[in-house]
Chain A
Amino acid sequence: MRVRNPGARHVVALVSLCGLAAAGCGHLGGGGGSDDTIDIGALVYQTGPLAQKGATNNLTMAADDINAAGGVDGRKIKIKFYDIGGLTPQQGRTAAQRALADKPDALIGPSVSAQTNAFLGLLPKAEVPLINVSAQRESDPGQPQGNPWTFRIYHRVDRMAEAISRVMAEQLKAKNVVVTHSTDDTSTHVKDDVVKDLKAKQVKVMKIASYTPEATDLTNAALATRGADAVVALGYPQPLGLMVKQMRANGIKSPIVFDPGAEAGVKLLSPSDLTNTSMVAACRPQATQGQDPVAKKFMDAYTSKYPGSYVNGYYYEAVQLIAQGMRNSKGEGGAKLREGLAAIKGFKGICGESSADADQNFIHDYKVVKLDGGKETLGGIVSGLTGAY
């Protein structure tokens, strides 16, 4: 069509814009998916050196499992992935903006707290709840006190620290402890809380050894652990693996307790390096499958469908929780879905039983995962964590 009159051209453009806007605004206030689907935006790293294939697989399988069972009151789960592409806060915000432009019912991700914090301010206006899979402190903006649209499935730093210090004091009966940590934000905050809690439990912290996450040699930190009854090791997987290797290579055999950051690092260690080591984690179906039939069923299906793929139960369970929230909200998105998520109590998932607390944390008991010989076994449960010490 050729439009001769410039004024008419403006009218056509305006009408077109209005039409597009109307088409895109079928649902206002979150939950813009079609009536047939529950749309979840997944903010994950899909390309480059940070690519999280395991997270993608866990999310995909959760949706497949729900849909195969008939969906949520007949509605299918549809996950759309938004590649974050890197570690900067701006990249996290950009991915969230792209996701929110598609008006999803809920968001999941990302795993870096600074990226999560970068877009939390967008959620109230969009009225889209987020299942936050990054570790955060109680004072971080990711906490629901500051933003009621966030729910956290991953660790709150104070509870993780409390679980670690209880393992040191109650299980290992350690009297003299060395705490090692990389200097990233989360590890540093966990270290602060672990040290505080160990002191409260009358456990002596002999040394605190820190190192940069990019370090390629950790001989110094490894040597600092000499003479300790037990060692707390906090950090990213690669440096954690490196530190344990260098401890063992220097003849240091002390027991080591890792935070969940070690999940991927464990794969980098030989069975002999892993002797006398354990990890605390809120979600570890690999270790709990011997006791928990839900975890067992998941592990059998996951390893069969994605052999060799990294298991990240938090992502799988995040989708299941959104589905449960949607059931609670009778299929309504936005504020109703938020209330539905907050109402979840005693949900039995692959991470064990979880309930949303008053701060919208999905609270799990912590599992002590023994790693001796490279084989994961359940070494106990730490329950009743309060984060108050």
Chain B
Amino acid sequence: MDRFIPLLFAGFSTGAVYALVASGIVLVHKASGAVNFAQGDLLTLGAFVYLAFTGAMPPMAAVGLTIVVLFLAGGAIERIVFVPLRDQPRLTVAVATFGIALAIQAGLTVWQGSDPQSVPSAFGHGSVDVFGTPLPVLSLWTILITAIVFAGMYALFQFTQIGRMVRALAADREVAVLYGVPASGLNFLTFGLSGALAALGGVLLGPSIAISPMMGFSIVLFVFAAVTIGGFDSMGGVAASAVVLGVAQQLLTGYVSSAYTNAYPFLVMLALLLVRPTGLARPIAAERF
């Protein structure tokens, strides 16, 4: 148990960060039908913006401001990249998101250099004893905050007028627009939310590792494994699959071999897809325009 509980918590924490990034991908996919390959780099951008703000203000204020900035950045990406490409094939949009990713990486390298940097934590550091086992404080906060965020998003999309309109857009954009749903504003909102979620991932992940311009790229492939299993339209599905992958990655590393740490999420994905080819979530047949 000395190793099991810390590995389990590390898995939940890793999975929580995957879930935050994955939920941004799902939001963008729901709003536009496009797959956003830049979501991991938005996480990196969030970590660097947070680092810049922590030099001028208390960490908690920096967290808040970073989320606002990345919300606006997400919205700006929608206006600058997605709106002009709305009528283009999805592959074109997907390639454009790769372009955004590269632009963010290059911009961060020019701005902050390529050396890894340390980021202060807004949520404490060190360990806390849980049932006699020392666990990282930051991991516990990461799990708690992610759970709260997902509960909040569930409430937003299930019980508010805005949420219903976003879901209507996701189900059938043309009909929703005919019914007077303000598609343009809601698209901005969902892209902004995806940016804010990436920001949160960045401020939670950054302090536990060293941040560098390539940080987001290194985890986004795991995130896509989670989205593939969970379904591009299911927030709950990706949350569950992200946590499953995070926990599996930690436990397999701890109890099988550390040589395949980076391979485990994909092996788990393949195994799950063999058993359930449609993924964990119920597939939705819908076409967006």
Interface stretch (choices A93-101, A129-137, A242-250) = A242-250
Which chain B positions have C-beta within 8 A of A216?
209, 215, 218-219
Complex: A242 Cα to B10 Cα, angstroms: 13
A128 to chain B, nearest CB (A): 30
Which chain A positions have C-beta within 8 A of B215?
216
Which chain B positions have C-beta within 8 A of A220?
3, 7, 250, 253-254, 258, 261
Interface stretch (choices B84-92, B136-144, B170-178) = B136-144
A308 to chain B, nearest CB (A): 10
Decide if B118 touches A241 in the complex (CB within 8 Å): yes
A220 to chain B, nearest CB (A): 4
Which chain B positions have C-beta within 8 A of A51?
113-114
B198 to chain A, nearest CB (A): 16
Q: Is B262 an interface residue (CB 8 A)?
A: yes
By beta carbon, the residue of chain B nearest A211 is B258
Decide if A267 touches B250 in the complex (CB within 8 Å): no
Decide if B2 touches A212 in the complex (CB within 8 Å): no
Q: Is B115 an interface residue (CB 8 A)?
A: yes
Decide if B127 touches A251 in the complex (CB within 8 Å): yes
Decide if A219 touches B10 in the complex (CB within 8 Å): yes
By beta carbon, the residue of chain B nearest A237 is B116
Q: Is B214 an interface residue (CB 8 A)?
A: yes
Q: Is B33 an interface residue (CB 8 A)?
A: no
> Helix, strand, loop or mixed for chain B's interface?
mixed
Which chain A positions have C-beta within 8 A of B236?
none
Q: Is B126 an interface residue (CB 8 A)?
A: yes
Q: Is B184 an interface residue (CB 8 A)?
A: no
Q: Is A223 an interface residue (CB 8 A)?
A: yes
Q: Is B282 an interface residue (CB 8 A)?
A: no
Q: Is B14 an interface residue (CB 8 A)?
A: yes
Q: Is A270 an interface residue (CB 8 A)?
A: yes
B136 to chain A, nearest CB (A): 4
B157 to chain A, nearest CB (A): 30
Q: Is B135 an interface residue (CB 8 A)?
A: yes
Complex: A202 Cα to B48 Cα, angstroms: 47
Complex: A211 Cα to B117 Cα, angstroms: 21
Complex: A48 Cα to B6 Cα, angstroms: 37
Which chain A positions have C-beta within 8 A of B135?
250
By beta carbon, the residue of chain A nearest B253 is A220
Total number of B residues with any Cβ neighbor in A under 8 Å: 40
Decide if B136 touches A246 in the complex (CB within 8 Å): yes
Q: Is B134 an interface residue (CB 8 A)?
A: yes
Decide if B250 touches A214 in the complex (CB within 8 Å): no
Decide if A214 touches B262 in the complex (CB within 8 Å): yes
Q: Is A118 an interface residue (CB 8 A)?
A: no
Decide if B259 touches A212 in the complex (CB within 8 Å): yes
Which chain B residues numbered 16 to 58 have a C-beta less than 8 Å away from chain A? none
Which chain B positions have C-beta within 8 A of A251?
126-127, 129, 134
Q: Is A307 an interface residue (CB 8 A)?
A: no
Decide if A226 touches B2 in the complex (CB within 8 Å): yes
Decide if A250 touches B136 in the complex (CB within 8 Å): yes
Decide if B259 touches A210 in the complex (CB within 8 Å): yes
Given known pairs A214-B262, A215-B262, the reply for A49 and B114 (CB within 8 Å) is yes
Given known pairs A183-B259, A264-B116, the reply for A270 and B253 (CB within 8 Å) is no
Among the listed B127, B210, B253, which residue makes an inter-chain contact with A268, where contact means beta carbons less than 8 Å apart?
B210
Among A49, A246, A249, A270, max chain B CB count under 10 A is at: A249
Complex: A204 Cα to B204 Cα, angstroms: 38
Which chain A positions have C-beta within 8 A of B10?
217, 219
Decide if A214 touches B218 in the complex (CB within 8 Å): yes
By beta carbon, the residue of chain A nearest B117 is A268
Which chain A positions have C-beta within 8 A of B160?
none
By beta carbon, the residue of chain A nearest B219 is A216
Given known pairs A49-B214, A267-B118, A268-B118, the reply for A245 and B209 (CB within 8 Å) is yes
Among the listed A183, A238, A248, A250, which residue makes an inter-chain contact with B210, where contact means beta carbons less than 8 Å apart?
A238
Among the listed A215, A237, A246, A269, which residue makes an inter-chain contact with B208, where contact means beta carbons less than 8 Å apart?
A246
Q: Is A53 an interface residue (CB 8 A)?
A: yes
Q: Is A50 an interface residue (CB 8 A)?
A: yes
A-B contact pairs, 15 of them (CB 8 A): A49-B214, A215-B262, A220-B253, A221-B258, A223-B6, A238-B212, A248-B125, A248-B126, A248-B127, A249-B125, A249-B137, A250-B136, A268-B118, A269-B118, A272-B125
17 further A-B contacts with Cβ under 8 Å, apart from A223-B6, A248-B125, A249-B139, are A49-B109, A210-B258, A215-B262, A216-B209, A217-B10, A217-B14, A217-B250, A219-B6, A219-B250, A219-B254, A220-B250, A220-B258, A237-B116, A241-B116, A246-B208, A250-B127, A268-B117
Would you list the 10 A-B pairs with minimal beta carbon distance, nearest first? A251-B134, A249-B136, A219-B10, A49-B114, A251-B127, A268-B210, A268-B118, A220-B254, A220-B253, A238-B116
